[in-house]
Amino acid sequence: MLLITVLLAILVMATLLYAGHGYWAWVCALLILIAGGHFSDAPTVFTGWAIIFSAVLSALFGIHQLRRGVLTSSLMRIVKRSLPTMSETEQTAVDAGTVWWDSELFSGRPDWERLEKFDVSGLTKEEQDFLDGPVEEICRKTDDWKVAQDRDLPAEIWQELKDQKFFGMIIPKEYGGLGFSAQAHSDVILKLSSRSLPLSVVVMVPNSLGPAELLLHYGTEEQKDHYLPRLARGEEMPCFALTEPKAGSDAASIQSYGVVCKSKIDGEMVLGIRLNWRKRYITLAPVATVIGLAFKLHDPAGLLGDKEDLGITCALIPRETKGVKIGKRHDPMGIPFPNGPIEGKDVFIPLDWIIGGQEGVGQGWRMLMESLAAGRSVSLPSLSLGASQLATRVTGAYATVRRQFGVPIGKFEGVAERLARIGGLTYGMDAARKLTCAAVDAGERPSVLSAIAKAYLTENMRLVFLDAMDVLGGAAICRGPKNLLSRAYDGLPIAITVEGANILTRSMIIFGQGSIRGHPFVPNELEAVAQNDLIAFDEAFWGHINFTLGNAVRAAVDGITGGRLIRVEGNPVAKRHKQLLTRYSSAFVMVADFSMLALGSSLKRRESLSGRLADALSWLYLATAAVKRFEDEGSLEDDEIYLDWFCAYAYQQIEQALITITHNYPIGFLGLSLRLKLFFLGRSAHGPSDKQSLELARRVMGEKEGRERLTSDIAIPRNTHEAMGALEEAYYKVIEIAPIDERIRAARKAGILHGVERDDLPRVAQERGVITEDEHLLIQEAQKLADAVVEVDDYTAAAYKKLKG
């Protein structure tokens, strides 16, 4: 009887915790134990202790004043002592931007209806016309190989970019810009990057984190009226100087400084700043006419007030200002976009050159972090997707045209495995890009999600290109105009490094900032401690405990049932993925909560653990975006393979991250406990099946218009005299003769062409009536085109010595 009572108590407790009723779970469980002990043959002492324990817990958790005085006040002091120290710049970075879908993932029970109602809108007619017109035209005119050899874009391309206002996409029409949405901005960068990396970078940077973005949100009206129209027309070319030799990822530790002082200008004493700086890695610096500069401002003479150290400040400085040294170039991986150092010595500027005027003093770090939250959502994710779509299109065609052992190389399972990963990652990357841009267009500045988009889309681009290079083999490593991948491949480390190095972003930012901002209770706990508000802390802390216990039960149940008890709506395929994502969300939150509670401030230093939590959170978001895309595009049966493959890949990454955490947990028994709770039946996610990968590989090679589906946003030249156009022509011709090839193979299998050498098959097939003369000519034409596109560039000794880049 006692055993049955205990099991019943556990069941009731688990049920109530699963429903989120933590207090009543304990009370009801203890009442059952009391009753069971009374009506069973249990010792009286058992019933007595159960009654005492129940009474104590009921008093502590039912009488708020008692709980706060006895427990909460002590806990609050412990928490306050254990919190990691956070500098003002760290706090500003954490507070920057907004919280959006990341809060749902931290809830353990994402609100799928909220996501379903969220509108991922398309382009306006004006935006689409710009893509179809000026963007297509600039892509047509740009020869990426020639750009690499000339070490710059042609002068006429630079001029056309200015004339068509490519540098003013984010500037509102009232200031002479295009006023495009984030989605349109992204689509433009995507298409340009599929044609030429230098072309996309020179357009991307003025529309990302820089003077225009900062002026729009923080500039004075005079600054906006002066600079924005000139920036939109390309009369001013901006750059932004933040990185220094001693301040890279730790950007807040910049050494550049300015001192408030007075200087005589044109016979009058002017209040201003004397600056000294040394910056590097500044994109567009060699061609910039106006420099956005971040520096630490000091006021030792008290000319602006009582405070001496005024903090990081941003100012706009014309290139020709006395003391500015600019024009030298770095050579980033041989990719010829303008990038170089800037120095300034004893440069005097008036106060009104500070972005925002005197009110902008000391606000520079906040400006940068808030702007980064939005700008990082668009630029590099779009570039990554453009390059990945290019790799998908090129590799799908090459795997069809290139034959070995008499069959297209894409038919070999080893190659098909790579093709599937190329296509599957490209599909998911596009989904994440669109969803993140839509969030920005909806007014969000999603700091954590933008960090995920930047870090994981650039990493996935790297995987796509590694696979593409492997499939193309020698054709991908011999440089020249026929090589469609090598120049983008060379630029991979650049995307990985800029706008926050991926190592830092993964190991310190994504989970660190996400947990502080997106968790349902942690932000309130931290604020209550900071304000010394016992009542608020009491509500937040015990709410957190209740949430943690309830989620732990849900995570365990979901792990055993595979999430099948979770109620969600939608197409059967999407519904199942929502259940699994909810299951993994609760598992992620369980590990996160136990880590925060058990490890406290030491979690900040455990970057390996934090990085794996970032992996889990990031792949949750990427898979969520894929589900959203699938449903928004009509839940088509033909699209199920893209969603299923990508989600299977994402689940594998999530499980790998969480299981690795439990095996390396600093507290061994807690790691084992977490592993048993979350994966009691072992791992269930093993990645895409071979069947899925083979089907997806066929799509990448063109089956069911898959190649078009995955690469619809890039520039596709039709000029057959250049490499991409020639590959497209050969591909479609090979597709055209596929039914004829099939008849020849069938005839060979039937013995009609037995013993015929492979090269003689078309001729003999015509002679024996298997195919017609016209079909034979079509095969010869396709073979000639295929032979041409698998050729690689070669050079004379003299020409080879002249190669650049």
Q: At what angle do helices 22-39 and 44-62 cross, to 10 degrees?
A: 160
Higher model confidence: residue 87 or residue 110?
110
Beta strands in 9-166 (DSSP E): none
Answer for the pair 310, 332: CB distance below 8 angstroms, yes or no.
no
- Name the nearest CA neighbour of 110 among 119, 101, 118: 101
Helix (H, G, I), strand (E, B) or coil at 291: strand
What mean pLDDT is predicted for residues 629-655?
97
What mean pLDDT is predicted for residues 727-740?
95
Alpha-carbon distance 435 to 419, whole Å? 25
Alpha-carbon distance 206 to 187, whole Å? 16
State which H helix or E strand residue 276 sits in. Answer: strand 268-283
What mean pLDDT is predicted for residues 310-326?
95
Q: Give this prediction's pTM.
A: 0.91
pLDDT score of 100: 94
Alpha-carbon distance 86 to 97, whole Å? 18
H, E, C per residue of 324-370: EEECCCCCHHHCCCCEEEEEEEEEEEEHHHECCHHHHCCCHHHHHHH
Alpha-carbon distance 300 to 308, whole Å? 5
Answer for the pair 338, 286: CB distance below 8 angstroms, yes or no.
yes
Q: CB neighbours (10 Å) of residue 474?
A: 8
Alpha-carbon distance 779 to 481, whole Å? 27
Q: Is the pLDDT of residue 485 over 70?
A: yes
Q: Is the pLDDT of residue 36 over 70?
A: no
Q: CB neighbours (10 Å) of residue 366?
A: 19
Helix (H, G, I), strand (E, B) or coil at 247: strand
Higher model confidence: residue 774 or residue 49?
774
Give 44's pLDDT tier (boundaries 50, 70, 90). low
> 205: alpha, beta or left, given left = phi > 0 and alpha = psi -120 to 50?
alpha
How confident is the prediction for the chain on average, in pLDDT? 90
* Strand partners of residue 139: none
Token reading at 745:
């193979």
pLDDT score of 29: 52
Whole-number Cα distances in Å, 641 to 393, 418, 688, 695, 708: 18, 16, 10, 8, 15
Give 625's pLDDT tier (boundaries 50, 70, 90). very high
- Name the nearest CA neighbour of 224 among 162, 151, 183, 172: 172
Give 28's pLDDT tier (boundaries 50, 70, 90). low
What mean pLDDT is predicted for residues 247-274?
87
Exposed/middle/buried for residue 632 (C-beta within 10 Å: 0-12, 13-18, 19+): middle
Give the residue numbers marked as catalytic.
499
Q: CB neighbours (10 Å) of residue 272?
A: 23
Least confident of 206-210, 444-448, 721-725, 732-736: 206-210
Per cent of the chain over pLDDT 70 is 91
Answer for the pair 244, 279: CB distance below 8 angstroms, yes or no.
yes
- Name the nearest CA neighbour of 342 among 324, 317, 355, 354: 324
Q: Is the pLDDT of residue 158 over 70?
A: yes
CA atoms within 13 A on the CB side of 142: 28
- pLDDT tens per residue across span 519-551: 999 888 888 888 888 889 888 888 888 888 889
Helix count (H) and strand count (E) of the chain?
38, 9
Answer for the pair 127, 186: CB distance below 8 angstroms, yes or no.
no
State which H helix or E strand residue 780 sits in. Answer: helix 773-789
Answer for the pair 593, 600: CB distance below 8 angstroms, yes or no.
no
Beta strands in 645-780 (DSSP E): none
Helix (H, G, I), strand (E, B) or coil at 152: coil
Give 758's pLDDT tier (boundaries 50, 70, 90). confident
Answer for the pair 232, 167: CB distance below 8 angstroms, yes or no.
yes
Q: DSSP of 379-394, one letter per residue?
A: HHHHHHHHHHHHHHHH
- pLDDT tens per residue across span 174-187: 999 999 999 999 99
